[in-house]
Amino acid sequence: MFSIVDAILPLVLLCLLGTGLRIVGFLDGGRRAALDAIVYFVLVPPLILVELNRSPLDLAVILPLMAGVLVPIGLIMGLIFAVHAAARPDDPWLDGPGFAATVMGLTRNNIFIVFAASQALLGSEAAALTAIAAMVYVPTVNVIGVLVCMRYGRGGATSIYATLKALSSNPFIVATAIGILLNVTGIGLPGPIGDAAELLSRSAVGLALVCVGAALTLPAARRAPFGLVATAGLKLLVMPALAAGLAVLAGLEALVALTLILYHAGPTAPGAYVLARQLGGDADLMAAAITLQTVLAAVTIPLVFTLATQFLA
């Protein structure tokens, strides 16, 4: 347990560094936006390419991995829609905009923290599996987020063409597709290109976690404390439990199973706040959910990983 905490603690410290830099004014709005863009568009895609280039891809692993990403999302969405149908209309986390934020809080995942945790706890092969999982996860949760905001948000709207264009240009999706292509064709990352990608990838996780910390805030915690705690419990504990059960039923090997469990144990993504704000979801509630889950994940990820290793032993 202590070794797991030792692996997670540097991730927490980097988040706290980002929070501190924001509090003292160093990471103001303009600098945060610039750093977010650099991490998102410049540093993380090479990380995905490097990790996918390191391990051979096997369809016998890829297909169960993709199913392991989608099935828990489907199950948890079924549960929350059932709760929404039975809820009072004035529940702040289950009204229209609040419900859109709650759905995104349950289905979206902070890829940066997931990558960092998989690397720290399971090594580079797990990071490659995480990149493959992200290929199916990223477009799925983006479509879910857009649809729930359009249906339940405050009049937000977007065209199908704009949605498809955004998904097809997502740097995570593009980098994963290129990485898989380079891997299966045997081309790989040749010479200086591979070296340059490796150098960029070393900076990705650390700066990404600084960005996560800089975005932490709790403006709506008092308005819906029960909903925020319930959403956090479902996301950080129930989702990885569902993944563990599915992994056992499918007979997945330990590394794939643990990668899936860690994947679903991550907190919701800061990008959900931007989507909620743009498309009429409850942006304040979304920001509070992101903050609470990110803070709690420092405790729940080591706990989940410890229980998972014992469960799969």
Matching CATH number, 2-312, of 1.10.760.10, 1.20.1530.20, 2.60.40.10, 3.40.30.10: 1.20.1530.20
Q: Is the model's pLDDT at 310 over the cut of 60?
A: yes
pTM assigned to the model: 0.81
Task: Give me the pLDDT at residue 84, please.
Answer: 84
Q: Which residue has the tokens 């949760």?
A: 141
Task: Give me the pLDDT at residue 215, please.
Answer: 77
| Whole-number Å distance between alpha carbons of 229 and 241 | 17
Q: Is 185 exposed, middle or buried (0-12, 13-18, 19+ CB in 10 A)?
A: exposed
Q: Give mean pLDDT, residues 252-268.
A: 92
| Whole-number Å distance between alpha carbons of 273 and 66 | 25
Q: At what angle do helices 283-312 and 225-233 cross, to 10 degrees?
A: 30
Sequence-ordered list of residues with C-beta below 8 angstroms from that of 279, at least 6 positions apart, any chain: 100, 145, 146, 149, 150, 153, 156, 157, 158
Q: Quick one: tokens of 212? A: 């996560």
pLDDT tens column, 271-284 = 787 777 767 788 77
Sequence-ordered list of residues with C-beta below 8 angstroms from that of 230, at least 6 positions apart, any chain: 93
The domain ranges of the chain are 2-312
